Structure 1
Amino acid sequence: MTGLIILAAGASSRLGTPKQNLIYQGQTLLQRAIHTALTSACCEKIVVVLGANEGVIRPNISDHQIHITYNPNWQEGIASSIRLGITELQKLEPNIKAAILMLCDQPFVDPLLIYQLTERKAENNNGIVACAYKDTLGVPALFDASYFPQLLMLQGKEGAKKLIKAFSHDVLPVAFPLGAIDIDTMDDYEGLGERK
């Protein structure tokens, strides 16, 4: 049983407007991420962690069959959202076996990729399955429940990459070249419109 956590609590300070609400191909980036999670059909529970700008983001996603939670400590950094997401997932499903961490600003994540993460985990004994792009390993990434204690110990701006590096011997990569494209600035967003 696998859960999925969409980390969407950031303030988008470099962008100047909530990236979660940016429109791409008829949906907001966060709606796309949720749709991807729901249609992957391999994650039993989906948790969306909101924080900054919650008031203008939540109305756009409140009709989805997901669990939305608010992170009052979002200013600490992404670690606080990971901790909250794992905690909420365990409350929803105490027997959860693994969790996928996902962002909303990687617009080319699709249901097939989420399925590949779960399939690679099912076929191998590795505790972490991470996406490979641009000479790095990162999210979306699947963590076996045995890593939940380490995820719950992350602090500040520490994210999934800290564990991926620390436990590199236990990481299985899944190629995802388009994972290098994320939306941090208005230039990034404008460049997205040029990709058809």
Structure 2
Amino acid sequence: MKTGIILLAAGSSSRLGRPKQLIEFQGKKLIQKAIDEAQKSKADTLVVVLGWNPELVKSGFDSEKIPHVINENWQEGMATSMQAGLRFLLEKEQPDQVILMLVDQPFVDVGLLDQLISLKGKSGKGIVACSYSDTLGVPVIFDQTYFKEMLELKVSEGAKKVILRNADDVFELDFPQGAVDLDTEEDLKRLKDLEIPE
């Protein structure tokens, strides 16, 4: 099974007021940390989806070496970024399954990504989604049987729509730290309090 990872890093961090992709955590910019974890995982391929100010965000990782795509319609919603990444992978890599991950979930690591891949194989389900804060969400792995549905999502919809619509084909992976994302300075302060030196 060929696994692709779509790393969504297109947002403008409007509530935070500075690009969260470039915030440092454990000595690395968030975008670089996410790329490193993805590259260490059992996934075969990766694409980073950029949108807002791509040249600035590219300063946070080696854009010469890391495949990336720029979603010109990023402001229309996360579905457009997911679809841009998925189209890129389908054209270049033909994966059998894809993992969606966000740049601002700092506790997503190689262990979690590998768990998604392995649980998908073991569970026999077409989707393995992380569960936190009474919801199911990213990181999530989708079988190729869902690619068409993902590409047909309306701009305002997200991957969660596909997860909820196919609940009987979803395996849940408990990941309480998935609730930690970085939208405001308060989130960042909480994160700094949680930060453990490596």
TM class, shorter-length = over 0.9
Partner in structure 2 of residue 83 of structure 1: 83
> Quick check: 1:18–1:53 contact (8 Å CA) kept in 2?
no
Rounded to whole Å, the distance in 2 between the matches of 1:172 and 1:188 is 29
Partner in structure 2 of residue 45 of structure 1: 45
Shift of 1:64: 7.1
> Quick check: 2:21–2:60 contact (8 Å CA) kept in 1?
no
Partner in structure 2 of residue 15 of structure 1: 16
Shift of 1:124: 2.4
Question: Counterpart of 2:47 in structure 1: which amino acid?
Answer: V
Partner in structure 1 of residue 151 of structure 2: 152
Rounded to whole Å, the distance in 1 between the matches of 2:147 and 2:66 is 21
Q: What 5-or-longer segments of structure 1 have no aligned partner?
A: none
Matching of residues 21-100 of structure 1 within 5 Å:
21-40=22-41, 42-62=42-62, 65-94=65-94, 96-100=95-99
Residue deviations 1:88-128 (CA, integer Å, cap 9, x gap): 0111212x100000001000001000000000111122110
**Root mean square deviation of aligned Cα:** 1.1
Q: 1:74 to 1:63 in 2, by over 3 A?
A: closer
Corresponding residue SS for 2:87 = helix
> Quick check: 1:129–1:172 contact (8 Å CA) kept in 2?
yes
Residue deviations 1:104-163 (CA, integer Å, cap 9, x gap): 100000100000000011112211000011111100000000100011011223111111
Partner in structure 2 of residue 123 of structure 1: 122
> Quick check: 1:45–1:66 contact (8 Å CA) kept in 2?
no
Deviates more, 1:78-87 or 1:63-72: 63-72
Rounded to whole Å, the distance in 1 between the matches of 2:63 and 2:93 is 21
> Following superposition, which runs of at least 4 residues in structure 1 exceed 4 angstroms of deviation?
none
Rounded to whole Å, the distance in 2 between the matches of 1:183 and 1:26 is 17
Corresponding residue SS for 1:48 = strand
What is the TM-score when the length of structure 2 is the normalising length? Answer: 0.95
> Quick check: 1:45–1:92 contact (8 Å CA) kept in 2?
no
Question: Counterpart of 2:175 in structure 1: which amino acid?
Answer: F
Rounded to whole Å, the distance in 1 between the matches of 2:60 and 2:162 is 32
> Quick check: 2:30–2:103 contact (8 Å CA) kept in 1?
yes
> Quick check: 2:9–2:31 contact (8 Å CA) kept in 1?
yes
The count of aligned residue pairs is: 194
Shift of 1:66: 2.5
Question: Counterpart of 1:11 in structure 2: which amino acid?
Answer: S
Rounded to whole Å, the distance in 2 between the matches of 1:118 and 1:81 is 22
What is the TM-score when the length of structure 1 is the normalising length? Answer: 0.96
Q: What 5-or-longer segments of structure 2 have no aligned partner?
A: none
> Quick check: 1:47–1:66 contact (8 Å CA) kept in 2?
yes
> Quick check: 1:101–1:141 contact (8 Å CA) kept in 2?
yes
Sequence identity of aligned pairs in percent?
A: 46
Rounded to whole Å, the distance in 2 between the matches of 1:19 and 1:158 is 22
